[in-house]
């Protein structure tokens, strides 16, 4: 029987819990039609028709060093790239298929270049791998609710051998776990209906992965998807339990704990606009200040944020995304101590923002100004050792003003005469507490 080992688990999760912030990259043939990575399914495009993008694919600007640098400058600590998405196209040189980047005009193993570039920046390396495969003949077509050819009589599932597909899928996972050095994150996607757990031969798959990559951190989508928490949350871990929960396009309202109340590792994956893959007309980007606050929200609830970019057909991260990353980076440069290694704390969420905590340091994130001195509710007055403005390190005095004499138990910080906050996105006060 499978024995979950919490000590091993905590050890492999250590860097990930410190990191808090990563980059997701969705990239593939679908960058050319530029209507999102699901277009083959949403528009029910036959394989033959989709192949035109395969023949055209030639990302002349592909330079993963630029991607890695952008991630690093934004303060991200890890990167996860779609080695293969649902369309089945491989960005790596798989010996088990012809449907791969090395057979396109670009002729390169894009994953090999990516892992090298990301490592060179000192970032942790992640690969996303789709469990669904709309290219493989043995993956269910007609009866599968996601397949592009669903419900189409010409694509009956009669002679399809799902086990043959699983052999193929397992072989490819073996390739990515063997040929690209040490992987830090393996991001499987996703389970649905009866396609979950042992249907993927998940125990066998994970045993193989763990034998090749003993410390790789794996998401929970061999069991669930963006919906569902997985067996670790149930306190009944399967051999293929995920290491973290992967809420998608949502930040859990209260953070996440397992059935017994222990905090769970989780990572909210979030798009910058409304799409994962490059989209030609989706210009609904979330403003950088908002994303900074959302990162803080994740950390204040004990989670990570995996923020997505969708490079275009040439391999460039869209300029809007680059600008957002730069703004985030500027803030992170001065305020990262309130993110890395931080987590939730037991104080109530203040009206003006949020709190993150690293040991005896509490970070009060001010999204909004206050009228008068800033109430640091929940701190014991005689234990406050010092208060500093995180971005500059300058001393913030405890207020002695008469205006809060009605609230003798609350510590107030005195930000001085300027009613406007020095940082209009998030001004962080670092409070060090003594014993």
Among 58, 65, 226, 433, binds ligand GLC (CB under 6 A): 226
> Least distance in Å: CB of 227 to ligand GLC?
9
CA–CA dist 90, 270 (Å, integer): 23
> Least distance in Å: CB of 24 to ligand GLC?
7
Which residues are CB-neighbours of 52 under 8 A, at least 6 positions away?
Answer: none
Please list, residue by residue across 390-417, b when 16 or more beta carbons sit within 10 angstroms of its beta carbon and e when fewer do: bbeeeebeebeeeeeeeeeeebbbebee
Total residues in contact with ligand GLC, by rule CB under 6 A = 10
DSSP assignment letter at 155: G
For ligand GLC, the closer CB: 41 or 316? 41
> Least distance in Å: CB of 265 to ligand GLC?
16
Among 78, 190, 200, 412, binds ligand GLC (CB under 6 A): 190
Q: Is 62 in the site for ligand GLC (CB under 6 A)?
A: no
Count of beta carbons in the 10 Å neighbourhood of residue 328: 22
Contact 266, 305 (CB under 8 A): no
For ligand GLC, the closer CB: 62 or 188? 188
Among 113, 116, 234, 248, binds ligand GLC (CB under 6 A): 248
Contact 315, 322 (CB under 8 A): no
> Least distance in Å: CB of 151 to ligand GLC?
19
Among 17, 29, 31, 37, binds ligand GLC (CB under 6 A): 37
For ligand GLC, the closer CB: 67 or 190? 190
Q: Is 219 in the site for ligand GLC (CB under 6 A)?
A: no
Could you tell me how far CA 118 lies from the centroid of its own chain? Answer: 15
Among 103, 203, 225, 257, binds ligand GLC (CB under 6 A): 225
Count of beta carbons in the 10 Å neighbourhood of residue 95: 9
> Least distance in Å: CB of 406 to ligand GLC?
49
For ligand GLC, the closer CB: 191 or 300? 191
Q: Is 370 in the site for ligand GLC (CB under 6 A)?
A: no
**CA triple 186-187-193, angle to 5 deg:** 135
Among 189, 267, 297, 312, binds ligand GLC (CB under 6 A): 189
Residue 138 has phi, psi (to 5 degrees) of: -90, 0
Which residues are CB-neighbours of 146 under 8 A, at least 6 positions away?
Answer: 41, 86, 132, 134, 192
Contact 318, 309 (CB under 8 A): yes
> Least distance in Å: CB of 128 to ligand GLC?
7
Listed residue (144, 24, 20) closest to 83, CA to CA: 24
> Least distance in Å: CB of 268 to ligand GLC?
10
Q: Is 269 in the site for ligand GLC (CB under 6 A)?
A: yes
By rule CB under 6 A, what string of x and - marks binding of each residue 273-292 to ligand GLC? ---x----------------
The CA–CA distances, whole Å, from 340 to 35, 90, 424 equal: 35, 33, 21
Token pair 């998807």 in the structure block, residue: 225
> Least distance in Å: CB of 112 to ligand GLC?
22
> Least distance in Å: CB of 80 to ligand GLC?
10
> Which residues of this chain interact with ligand GLC, rule CB under 6 A?
26, 37-38, 189-190, 225-226, 248, 269, 276
């Amino acid at each position: 029987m499978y024995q979950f080992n919490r000590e091993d688990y905590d050890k492999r999760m250590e860097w990930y819990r410190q990191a808090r912030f990563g980059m997701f990259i969705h990239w593939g043939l679908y960058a050319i039609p530029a209507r999102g990575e699901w277009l083959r399914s949403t528009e029910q495009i036959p394989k033959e028709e989709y192949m035109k993008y395969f023949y055209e694919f030639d990302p002349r600007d592909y330079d993963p060093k630029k991607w890695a640098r952008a991630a690093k400058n934004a303060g991200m600590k890890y990167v996860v790239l779609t080695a293969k998405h649902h369309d089945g196209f491989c960005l790596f040189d798989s010996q088990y298929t012809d449907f791969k980047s090395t057979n396109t005009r670009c002729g390169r193993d894009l994953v090999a270049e990516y892992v090298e570039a990301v490592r060179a920046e000192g970032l942790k390396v992640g690969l996303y791998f789709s469990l669904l495969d709309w290219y493989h003949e043995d993956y269910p077509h007609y009866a599968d609710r996601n397949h592009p050819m669903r419900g189409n009589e010409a694509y009956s599932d009669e002679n399809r051998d799902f086990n043959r597909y699983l052999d193929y899928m397992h072989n490819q996972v073996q390739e990515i776990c063997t040929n690209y050095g040490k992987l830090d994150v393996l991001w499987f996607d996703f389970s649905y209906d009866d396609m979950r757990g042992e249907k993927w031969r998940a125990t066998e798959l994970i045993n193989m992965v763990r034998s090749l990559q003993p410390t790789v951190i794996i998401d929970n989508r061999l069991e669930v998807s963006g919906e569902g928490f997985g067996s670790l949350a149930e306190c009944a871990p399967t051999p293929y339990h995920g290491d973290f929960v992967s809420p998608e396009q949502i930040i859990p309202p209260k953070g996440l704990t397992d059935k017994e109340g222990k905090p769970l590792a989780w990572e909210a994956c979030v798009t910058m606009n409304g799409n994962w893959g490059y989209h030609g007309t989706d210009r609904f980007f979330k403003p950088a200040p908002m994303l900074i606050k959302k990162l803080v929200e994740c950390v204040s609830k004990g989670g990570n944020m995996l923020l997505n970019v969708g490079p275009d057909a040439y391999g460039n991260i869209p300029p809007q995304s680059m600008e957002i990353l730069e703004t985030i980076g500027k803030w992170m440069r001065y305020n990262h101590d309130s993110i890395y290694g931080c987590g939730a704390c037991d104080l109530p969420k203040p009206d003006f923002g949020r709190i993150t905590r690293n040991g005896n340091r509490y970070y009060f994130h001010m999204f909004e100004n206050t009228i008068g001195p800033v109430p640091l509710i929940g701190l014991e007055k005689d234990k406050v050792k010092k208060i500093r403005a995180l971005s500059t390190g300058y001393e913030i005095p405890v207020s002695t003003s008469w205006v809060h004499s009605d609230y003798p138990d609350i510590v107030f910080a005195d930000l001085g005469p300027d009613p406007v906050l020095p940082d209009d996105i998030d001004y962080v006060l670092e409070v060090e507490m003594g014993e």
